[in-house]
């Protein structure tokens, strides 16, 4: 990658935005110019980046005219509000919200799984949901060898999935409980310290929450497997950062455990972590701040001859959001795919 890009980070003051800035610096992303954008409430804030002090600007229509790439992490409503203006200005938006993930004309990309999908963008590329990315990276090496028929996944999602304020709330609640006081939830609907509850996103008529349906629909799109059977139960747990997932896979034929371990150990973006003698497998504290998805406890499902069980952990702010977006940007540069392959449609 030799070309240098004029980059804007939309949502620069949020948790994912801050992680994006850290990764742009640590990965030596080829920057010609960096613009930090956020809501008017954050305008004027100063952020240190590679020895420089940059001021956050309020996003407006003229913000994108001198920009090649927008890394957006400011929420779905913000992405929808500015997408057409970003594309009209000639920039490409890599969007971390759910706004365009299931739009047929928008690629939904995990570079370790479907990098070629990025070539067909029309100015917007969607970053999948964090739990979907972590699961996909962990199980796709097996799907490539023998297509998965069914996925049953239970997630254990940390407070950071709800933002920095939720993380702070859990800390304050833990202190309150240890002092014999009643914890008071404000950001999350219920106390999370020393507690857990099903994910609080909106429920559909079938009783599945929005977070669970993201895993179902997004996995099918990324894997290009519309008939893949997926069911999910998403749970918020009192962990500060990094998500965990317990996954049951069903194949058409038996899948040897040793082969599964070898495939995952050799796969990009994944690290096999298993110490059976010590009963040591991936934990959130092991993966916090790390790029890889840690996978372990791979075993035969004793209830089904064609089933495998596995456990994984991943930093959902990093690989589950910011890093995946940066990797997409690096892919666009490497393959010379930055410009839309066809004329952008009206959004």
For residue 56, pLDDT beyond 80: yes
| C-alpha–C-alpha distance, residues 169 and 238, integer Å | 11
For residue 343, pLDDT beyond 80: no
For residue 94, pLDDT beyond 70: yes
| C-alpha–C-alpha distance, residues 310 and 245, integer Å | 8
DSSP letters along 32-80, please?
Answer: EEEEEEE-GGGTT-EEEETTEEEEEEE--GGGGTT-SEEEE-S-HHHHH
Mean pLDDT for 246-250 is 98
Is 209 among the catalytic positions?
A: no
Mean pLDDT for 56-70 is 95
**pLDDT tens figures, 187-240:** 999 999 999 999 999 999 999 999 999 999 999 999 999 999 999 999 999 999
Residue 341, pLDDT score: 57
Catalytic residue among 130, 199, 234, 313: 130
| C-alpha–C-alpha distance, residues 9 and 100, integer Å | 18
Structural domains in the chain, CATH included, are: 5-128+321-335 (3.40.50.720), 132-316 (3.30.360.10)
Which backbone phi and psi does 232 adopt, to 5 degrees?
-135, 150
3-state secondary structure 223-273: HCCCCCEEEEEEEECCCCCCEEEEEEEEECCCCCHHHHHHHHHHCCCEEEC
Residue 3, pLDDT score: 78
Residue 2, pLDDT score: 52
Helix axes 323-335, 15-26, angle to 10 degrees: 50
For residue 138, pLDDT beyond 50: yes
Which residues pair with residue 206 across a beta bridge? none
- Please give the model's pTM, rounded to 2 decimal places: 0.95
**pLDDT tens figures, 233-247:** 999 999 999 999 999
SS3 label, residue 155: strand
Which backbone phi and psi does 49 adopt, to 5 degrees?
-145, 115
Choose the weakest-confidence range: 67-76, 246-255, 335-344.
335-344
Residue 99, pLDDT score: 96
**pLDDT tens figures, 275-300:** 999 999 999 999 999 999 999 999 99
Average pLDDT along the chain: 95
Mean pLDDT for 36-56 is 94
Mean pLDDT for 151-162 is 95
| C-alpha–C-alpha distance, residues 287 and 283, integer Å | 7
What's the sign of the alpha-carbon dihedral 147, 149, 151, 152?
negative
With CA atoms as reference, report the closest residue to 78 among 33, 177, 12.
12
SS3 label, residue 346: coil
Choose the weakest-confidence range: 86-100, 161-175, 207-221, 290-304.
161-175
For residue 258, pLDDT beyond 50: yes
Is 121 among the catalytic positions?
A: no
300, 306 Cβ separation under 8 angstroms: no
SS3 label, residue 21: helix
- Please report, to the nearest 10 degrees, the dihedral formed by the alpha carbons of residues 35, 38, 39, 45 taken in order: -80
Choose the weakest-confidence range: 113-122, 162-171, 252-261, 338-347.
338-347
pLDDT more than 70, % of the chain: 97
Catalytic residue among 121, 143, 199, 243: 243
Mean pLDDT for 44-59 is 95
């Amino acid at each position: 990658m030799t070309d240098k890009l004029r980059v804007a980070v939309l949502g620069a003051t949020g948790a994912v935005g801050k992680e994006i800035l850290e990764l742009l610096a640590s990965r030596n992303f080829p920057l010609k110019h960096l613009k930090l954008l956020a809501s008017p409430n954050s305008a004027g804030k100063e952020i240190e980046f590679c020895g420089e002090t940059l001021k956050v600007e309020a996003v407006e229509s003229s913000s994108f005219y001198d920009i090649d790439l927008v890394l957006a992490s400011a929420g779905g409503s913000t992405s929808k509000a500015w997408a057409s203006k970003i594309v009209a200005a000639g920039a490409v938006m890599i969007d971390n919200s759910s706004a365009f993930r299931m739009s047929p004309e928008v690629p939904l990309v995990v570079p370790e799984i479907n990098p070629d999908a990025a070539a067909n963008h029309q100015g917007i590329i969607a970053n999948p949901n964090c739990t979907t990315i972590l699961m996909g990276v962990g199980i796709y090496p097996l799907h490539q060898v023998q297509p998965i028929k069914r996925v049953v996944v239970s997630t254990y999602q940390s407070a950071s999935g709800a933002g920095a304020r939720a993380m702070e709330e859990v800390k304050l609640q833990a202190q309150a409980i240890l002092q014999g006081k009643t914890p008071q939830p404000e950001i999350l609907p219920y106390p999370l310290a020393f507690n857990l509850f099903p994910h609080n996103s909106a429920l559909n008529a079938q009783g599945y929450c929005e977070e669970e349906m993201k895993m179902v629909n997004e996995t099918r799109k990324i894997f290009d497997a519309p008939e893949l059977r997926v069911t999910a139960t998403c749970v918020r747990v009192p962990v500060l950062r990094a998500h965990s997932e317990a996954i049951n896979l069903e194949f058409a034929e038996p899948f040897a455990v040793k082969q599964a371990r070898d495939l995952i150990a050799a796969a990009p973006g994944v690290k096999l972590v298993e110490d059976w003698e010590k009963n040591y497998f991936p934990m959130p504290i092991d993966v916090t701040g790390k790029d890889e998805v840690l996978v372990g406890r791979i075993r035969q499902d004793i209830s089904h001859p064609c089933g495998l069980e596995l456990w994984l952990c991943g930093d959902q702010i990093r690989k589950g959001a910011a890093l995946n977006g940066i990797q997409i940007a690096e892919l666009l540069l490497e393959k010379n795919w930055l410009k839309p392959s066809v004329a952008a449609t009206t959004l």
